[in-house]
Amino acid sequence: MSKADNIFIAMCTDILENGISSEGEVVRAKWDDGRPANTVKKFAAINRYDLSEEFPILTLRPTNLVAAIDELLWIWQKKSNNIKDLNSDIWNSWADEDGSIGKAYGYQLSVKHQYREGEFDQVDRVLYDLRHNPYSRRIMVNMYNHSDLHEMNLYPCAYSLTLNVTGRKLNAVLNQRSQDILVANNWNVCQYAILVHMLAQVSNLEVGELVHVIADAHIYDRHIPLITELIQRAPFPAPKLLINKDRKDFYDFKVGDFVLEGYQSGLQIKNIPVAI
């Protein structure tokens, strides 16, 4: 049985049984019929994934790893904020007529900052520190730039990553201000698990833990029956992640360099309503 499935089931069960409903509150999100998209939420869900033991992809239902990695590379490798550089439609509703999502995500990672050692953007600074000062307690990125929020079409959800090397293992803490558990949870977990694998490989390190902190972990009201059915399914064993070991440069990785061996999953949930 996949440990990622166990973590997901426990989190969803806790939200459903002990969460707080937004009924009666003023909520921003709406359904496509105009009705308020209410949620049941828990504050500060914290999940730990040992990447040295398994790749944390759900088997209760399939996660589209190819599309998830493509978005990850769009943000972290291409450092783009334009959907024309992305091979999916997931950001279309947030883009302007030119394809830009504003000064969000990849844009923030592309901005150069001055350090004692010279100018780096946030990604290149991480790569530099992991090679030259891996035991630093200052290796992190932050995409929540208050001075640019007014020019972002969507405030960053997963907004900061803190990296920490213990022994030879690279660990990471992913901070997320808000998450739609059904739509986005395992998508983000898989993305940042892949990122830790990438950074570890090019830094001659081993993967350790990914700790995911979600400040507002919520299940939308119209998702409750879907989640209830999903967490009653029988999980499969975790698949094995195969990575192209020839990649030594972070910017050389391609989507096809990551393959899951033995990935089994339950049926996909179709026509999931998405709040906007």
Q: Give strand pairing partners of 162.
A: 140, 173
Q: Is 142 annotated as a binding residue?
A: no
SS3 191: helix
Q: Is 92 annotated as a binding residue?
A: no
Q: Is 48 annotated as a binding residue?
A: no
Q: Is 186 annotated as a binding residue?
A: no
| Separation CA 224–CA 220 (nearest Å) | 7
Half-sphere exposure of 150 (CA within 13 A, CB side): 1
| Residues written for the chain | 276
Q: Let me know: does 170 contact 210? Beta carbons within 8 Å.
A: no
Q: Is 113 annotated as a binding residue?
A: no
Q: Is 275 annotated as a binding residue?
A: yes
Q: Is 108 annotated as a binding residue?
A: no
| φ, ψ dihedrals at 160, nearest 5° | -145, 150
SS3 37: coil
Contacts 24+ apart (CB under 8 A), 254-261: 254/73, 255/66, 255/69, 255/70, 255/73, 258/65, 258/69, 258/194, 258/197, 260/55, 260/57, 260/65
Q: Is 77 annotated as a binding residue?
A: no
Q: Is 218 annotated as a binding residue?
A: yes
Count H helices, E strands: the chain?
6, 11
- Catalytic residue from among 157, 163, 200, 227: 157
Q: Is 178 annotated as a binding residue?
A: yes
Active-site residue 190, yes or no? no
Q: Is 212 annotated as a binding residue?
A: no
Cα→Cα distances 202→68, 173, 244, Å: 20, 19, 11
Q: Is 125 annotated as a binding residue?
A: no
Task: Please identify which residue in the block is written with the tokens 């990575």.
Answer: 243
Q: Strand runs (DSSP E) across 51-152, as ranges?
A: 113-115, 118-120, 139-142
What tokens were used for 94?
């947030």
- E strand or H helix at 40, and its extent? strand 39-50
Which residues are known to be catalytic? 157
Binding site listing:
64, 137-138, 177-180, 188, 218-220, 275
Binding residues for dUMP: 137-138, 177-180, 188, 218-220
